[in-house]
């Protein structure tokens, strides 16, 4: 069975987003677009309606940490 994750896995989502979108500066992404990116990741099993601003901020921060580490 493939690895699955949901909204509570901000660090894993940040890693996945950095792998999929290495050219995007995370803090330039609007939350509406970030929501689409996350729900479109392979293995994402969360309910799309269960995100909120705090969750998206945590994901964006985790993604930015990965982005900065990759520089």
The pLDDT value recorded for residue 45 is 95
Q: Does 5 fall in a domain?
A: no
Q: 2 in a domain, yes or no?
A: no
Q: What is the pLDDT of residue 37?
A: 98
pLDDT digits (tens, 9 = 90+) for 48-64: 999 999 999 999 999 99
pLDDT for residue 1 is more than 60: no
User: For residue 23, what are the domain limits?
Assistant: 10-70
For residue 49, being part of any structural domain is answered with yes
pTM score over 0.85: yes
Beta strands in the chain (DSSP E): none
The reply to whether 20 falls in a domain is yes
Question: What's 32's domain CATH number?
Answer: 1.10.10.600
The whole-angstrom separation of Cα 7 and Cα 33 is 15
H-only helix segments in the chain: 10-20, 31-39, 53-70
Number of separate domains in the chain:
1
Measure the CA–CA gap between 50 and 47, rounded to whole angstroms.
5
Q: pLDDT tens-digit profile of 6-27?
A: 999 999 999 999 999 999 999 9
């Amino acid at each position: 069975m493939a690895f699955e994750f949901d909204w509570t896995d901000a660090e894993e989502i940040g890693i996945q987003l950095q792998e999929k979108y290495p050219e995007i500066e995370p803090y330039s992404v609007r939350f509406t677009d970030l929501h689409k990116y996350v729900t479109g990741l392979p293995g994402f099993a969360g309910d799309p309606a269960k995100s909120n601003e705090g969750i998206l901020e945590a994901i964006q921060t985790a993604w930015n940490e990965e982005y900065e580490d990759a520089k």
